[in-house]
A and B are shown apart, each in its own frame.
Chain A
Amino acid sequence: MTLGQIIALFMGSVFVQNFIFSRFLGLCPYVGVSKDTPSAMGMGFAVVFVMTMASAVTWGLYRYVLIPFDLTYLKIVAFILVIASFVQFVEMFLKKAFPALHRSLGIYLPLITTNCAVLGVAFLNITQFETESYGFAKSTLQGFFAGIGFMLAMLIMSGIREKLEYAEIPEAMKGLAIVFITAGLISIAFLGFSGFKL
Chain B
Amino acid sequence: MGQEETNNTGYFKELSKGFIRENPIFILCLGLCPTLAVSNLVENAFGMGIAFFFVLLCSNITISLVQKLIPDEVRIPCFIVIIAAFVTVASLLMQWLIPDVYARMSLYINLIVVNCIILGRAEAFASKNNVFRSALDAVGMGVGFTASLFIISAIREVTGFGTFLGFRLIPENIKPITIMILAPGAFFTIGFLMALFNLIRIKKGKVSK
Contact = CB atoms under 8 A, between A and B. Distances in A.
Contacts of A24: 32-34, 36-37, 183, 186
Contact of B202 (A116, A171, A187): A171
A183 interface: yes
8 contacts: A27-B33, A28-B33, A116-B114, A123-B111, A173-B198, A175-B194, A179-B191, A183-B191
B169 interface: no
B92 A73 contact: yes
Given A76-B84, A176-B194, A180-B191, 4 more contacts: A76-B88, A114-B114, A119-B114, A184-B186
A198 interface: no
Contacts of A116: 33, 111, 114-115
Given A80-B114, A120-B111, A183-B187, A73 B194 contact: no
Interface of A: 21-28, 31, 73-74, 76-77, 80-81, 84, 113-116, 119-120, 123-124, 127, 171-181, 183-185, 187-188, 190-191
Interface of B: 29-34, 36-37, 77, 80-81, 84-85, 87-88, 91-92, 107, 110-111, 113-116, 119, 179, 182-188, 190-192, 194-196, 198-199, 202
Contact of B191 (A77, A115, A184): A184
Interface class of chain B by DSSP: helix
B191 A21 contact: no
A181 B198 contact: no
A127 B105 CA distance: 13
A180 B183 CA distance: 11
Contacts of A124: 107
A183 B115 CA distance: 21
B184 A185 contact: yes
Contacts of B183: 21-22, 24, 187, 190-191
A184 B180 CA distance: 10
B141 to A, nearest CB: 16
Contact of B184 (A74, A114, A184): A184
Nearest to A118: B114
Nearest to B38: A24
A76 B192 contact: no
Given A24-B36, A26-B33, A176-B29, A76 B110 contact: yes
